[in-house]
Amino acid sequence: MGFKRLLASMGAGGASVETELFEANVVPGGVVQGEVRVQGGSVDQEIQGITVGLQARVEVEGHDDQEYKQNIDFAKERVGGAFQVRAGAVHTLPFGLEIPWETPITTIEGQDLRGMHIGVTTELQIARAVDSGDLDPVHVHPLPAQQAILDAFLQLGFRFKAADMERGHVRGTRQRLPFYQEIEFRSPAQYRGLNEVELTFVADDREMDVVMEMDKKGGLFSDGHDTYRSFSVALAGFASTDWPAYLHGWLAEVGGRRNWL
């Protein structure tokens, strides 16, 4: 895996940079290991710095409710300091990039989620300029606590529909990144008044907030109060809960009040 891009082809010595990830499968809170290799060009060259980071492609709501895609960089880290790369020489720098706990899930049980684009980017600062490389994708797998809740939805008969990342903030959560993920599930027939459920995880190193928003079928709710549910789960204590029973109990309680069961 890797990418290569010619940098400053006119007047900057023709240096090139290549970044290789040793393992692209990660989890939130983990570390992606790799190395950056700077290949010297036809002349000696002063490199002012190298930065690696993560980039996500998210949806942004613009004017008149028009949506568009935007690349958002996050979790940037500097790799080494300034150095000189000799003509024709190779300078190699290893790195370990920490994956924020809030990083959205891109892969579930070996299947990439359609629409999820997260990867490692590299920036080379040279001659008072910045040049960026291509995106080297990473596969972010669920934490065990996240996997338990995803499995519970599947056991209840929900089916994965889609996933996306949206710029904005989920109220009442520990969110720090400027965007969040929504994982959408289609509702099974037993919840006859429910169209789908949107699921959001916002984690830190101890707990995660779980936010569920229900998309009702027309005419079944008089207001939106009962369509929103948020609770916290300890990452180390999630296994003590019967998640299919917990989720069904809450859906049954709301559904009984609203007559959609």
pLDDT at 19 over 80: yes
Higher pLDDT, 256 or 59: 59
- Delimit the domains of the chain by residue range: 3-140, 144-258
C-alpha span between 184 and 254 (Å, rounded): 19
Which helix (H) or strand (E) covers residue 39, if one does?
A: strand 31-39
- DSSP annotation of 220 reads S
pLDDT of the residue at 33: 96
C-alpha span between 176 and 181 (Å, rounded): 13
Name, in order, each residue with C-beta under 8 angstroms of 30's C-beta and a sequence gap of 6 or more.
98, 99
pLDDT of the residue at 261: 56
Instruction: Tell me the percentage of the chain whose pLDDT exceeds 90.
Output: 60
Which candidate, 260, 212, 259, places its Cα nearest to that of 233? Answer: 212
- Both tokens of 65, joined, read 């409710």
- Both tokens of 167, joined, read 């710029």
- Please answer whether residues 54 and 75 qualify as being in contact, where contact means their C-beta atoms are separated by less than 8 angstroms: yes
- Please answer whether residues 113 and 107 qualify as being in contact, where contact means their C-beta atoms are separated by less than 8 angstroms: yes
Instruction: Say whether domain 3-140 belongs to CATH 2.60.40.640.
Output: yes
- List residues bridging with 49 in a β-sheet: 125
pLDDT of the residue at 257: 63
Average pLDDT over residues 58-63: 86
pLDDT of the residue at 226: 53
